[in-house]
Amino acid sequence: MTATHITSNLRSGKLGTVNKCSYQNNFGYQTIIIKLFLFATAETHFLFDGFYYDQIDGVAMGSLLAPVLANLFISHHERTWLSNYNNSTPLFYHRYVGDIFCMFHTEQEALLFFDYLNLQHPNIKFTSENESNNQISRLS
């Protein structure tokens, strides 16, 4: 048995200054929902240690949209990654938010699977924990 947790690496770019955030109300041919998602996710600015930053990848932690968008993102990629995996598939696989529980025939199969998953996206990393004494500490 193996339990795993999804982590991500957030990248941000330092800005010299951040002026007034503005939103252009020009929807043109794009739908309103796309503009609203862009506004809610792409215009995240914050101050840290005396410097202004603009988050250029991902959704800000604490955002009400973050859990929903993260789940949609992982669900979309998860289906592709599982269907494209060519080695021995897990005997059991279930994900709840950022935790995955899966079972394999051998520990080597589990290691191959998580090595594969960790190569699929540069900002998503999976950590794993194997059973010890028939228990997984996160689940016990």
| pLDDT at residue 3 tops 60 | no
45: its two tokens = 């600015």
- Domain architecture of the chain: domains with CATH: 2-9+63-130 (3.30.70), 12-55 (no CATH)
| pLDDT at residue 46, rounded to an integer | 77
- pLDDT average, residue stretch 47-72: 80
Write out pLDDT tens, residues 69-124: 888 888 889 999 999 999 988 999 999 888 888 899 998 999 999 999 999 998 88
136 residue type, one letter: I
* Stretch among 6-10, 75-79, 126-130 having the lowest mean pLDDT: 6-10
- C-alpha 108 chain-centroid distance: 25
